[in-house]
Amino acid sequence: MATRKTLDAGTAADANQLLKAAHRAMWALGDYHTFATSTVWALGPVLVDACRISRGHRVLDVATGTGNVAIRAASAGASVVASDLTPENFDAGRRAAHAAGLEIEWIEGDAEALPFEDGAFDTVTSCFGAMFAPDQQQVANELLRVCRPGGTIGMINFTPEGRGGEFFRLLAAYAPPPPPGALPPLMWGTEGHVRKLLGDGVESLATTRREYCERAASPRAYLDLFKQTFGPMVAIATNLADDRERAAALEQDFLDFVTRSNRGTPEGRVEIPYEYLLVVARKRQQEGFVSGRP
């Protein structure tokens, strides 16, 4: 007869699989490549430069989306694997890589259970990606595990204090609640938390707060971009399809956010600065690292 502990473990595993499936479906909605190239695409080279990726390096880009960092790393001469929980976005990435004359290996993979050998990569990166996986400590452990001793881990994460933090708190008010025990993704944007997650697995860790801008022709054009291409907002809008009052409130809250945040021109164009935390860590030379988890 199955014990209570076994049953509880099975229930937790089933719930985790359902959560993964929901995340995959959400990020497959809309048109992520159009969204990324309209907003965060300029950050790919930033992370490649910060990690000093160059010819001969073997690089893994985790939660790659359509290859923002992966394509830039390949352009620098690296051998690149692009991994993501949502392979539905790979075709757009493959087309972009092919147009640039680049070879990239695209592999479906969960940031909490990466399908790669220990120490397989010189550099492991993630730009606004791995931060959204629920089990943050497990993600940190996996980033460390697949990075070779002495290798580099580089991330770009939204800070909770910046406009990105405000935006995701806005969306959270209309989204289903997170799973029990899940930490806010924005915690990846605080230096102390990142240091705790990576723990003794790294011999050095440098963080820098920086800023990039998202632009649009008008507040309404910016709203339409998110409604049509950004998976989480598409999912929320679908869930609110039968609640016109809440759907209208979401749109108004979004436009109010744009008004508060906009430093664009008087002609009505949108220019919103988003703060992010640039993380560059060096994994310890010796094997047998101690993660932040007891």
Tokens of 217: 């022709």
The number of C-alpha atoms within 13 Å of 127 and in the hemisphere containing its C-beta is: 26
Q: Quick one: how far is CA 244 from the chain centroid?
A: 30
Tokens of 196: 């705790």
Determine the pLDDT at residue 22.
86
pLDDT class of 259 with cuts at 50, 70, 90: very high
**C-alpha distance from residue 222 to each of 101, 254, 259 (Å):** 31, 9, 11
Residue 107 has pLDDT above 90, yes or no: yes
Q: Which residues of 122-145 are buried (b: 16+ CB within 10 A; e: fewer)?
A: bbbbbbbbbbbbbbbbbbbbbbbb
pTM: 0.91
pLDDT tens digits, one per residue of 263-281: 977 778 999 999 999 999 9
Query: Into which CATH architecture does domain 16-213+275-283 fall?
Result: 3-Layer(aba) Sandwich (3.40)
Taking CA 36 as the corner, what is the angle to CA 32 and CA 42, rounded to the nearest 5 degrees? 165
pLDDT class of 71 with cuts at 50, 70, 90: very high
Query: What average pLDDT does the structure give for the chain?
Result: 92
126/47 Cα distance (integer angstroms)? 9
Determine the pLDDT at residue 5.
57
